[in-house]
């Protein structure tokens, strides 16, 4: 069974601070996605990374896929209260013919003004 472990599970920070969330596995994934989920809503895709070592930036968010495609990180610069939410990583196993994603357990971020 492929597992994706996220750390930290919870993070409470002040507005303006930087933070990094990690998503780790012992398995290789063909692609990895990051989602953000706000209370009472479904997860919304932030980014998909496909190539080992790939770095993608989305405004203040920087996503990196590990060289071996087993791990990923999400770095937020100068966090804002609007960044508050549950962040989920999800990996696509190499045998992706059945299109089943493996989801991490999530990191709950609270940014205080």
Partner 1 sequence: DAGITQSPRHKVTETGTPVTLRCHQTENHRYMYWYRQDPGHGLRLIHYSYGVKDTDKGEVSDGYSVSRSKTEDFLLTLESATSSQTSVYFCATQGAYEQYFGPGTRLTVT
**Residues contributing to the site for partner 1 (CB under 8 A):** 31, 33, 35, 40-45, 48, 50, 88, 90, 92, 98-101, 103-106
User: Which is nearer to partner 1, 66 or 104 (by Cβ)?
Assistant: 104
User: Which is nearer to partner 1, 34 or 76 (by Cβ)?
Assistant: 34
User: Which is nearer to partner 1, 33 or 64 (by Cβ)?
Assistant: 33
Strand blocks (E) in the chain: 5-7, 10-14, 19-24, 31-37, 44-49, 55-58, 61-65, 71-76, 85-92, 102-103, 107-112
> Smallest distance from the beta carbon of 85 to partner 1, in angstroms?
13
> Smallest distance from the beta carbon of 35 to partner 1, in angstroms?
8
User: Which is nearer to partner 1, 44 or 68 (by Cβ)?
Assistant: 44
> Smallest distance from the beta carbon of 41 to partner 1, in angstroms?
6
Describe the strand order of the beta sheet including 71-76 as a list of residue ranges.
Answer: 5-7, 19-24, 71-76, 61-65, 55-58
């Amino acid at each position: 069974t492929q597992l994706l472990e996220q750390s930290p599970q919870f993070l409470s920070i002040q507005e303006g601070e930087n933070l990094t969330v990690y998503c780790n596995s012992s398995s290789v994934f063909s692609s990895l996605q990051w989602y953000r989920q706000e209370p009472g809503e479904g997860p919304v895709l932030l980014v998909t990374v496909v190539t080992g070592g790939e770095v993608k930036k989305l405004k203040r968010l920087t996503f990196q896929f590990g060289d071996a495609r087993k791990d990923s990180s999400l770095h937020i610069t100068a966090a804002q209260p609007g960044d508050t939410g549950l962040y989920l990583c999800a990996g696509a196993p190499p045998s992706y013919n059945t299109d089943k994603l493996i989801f991490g357990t999530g990191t709950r971020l609270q940014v205080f003004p």
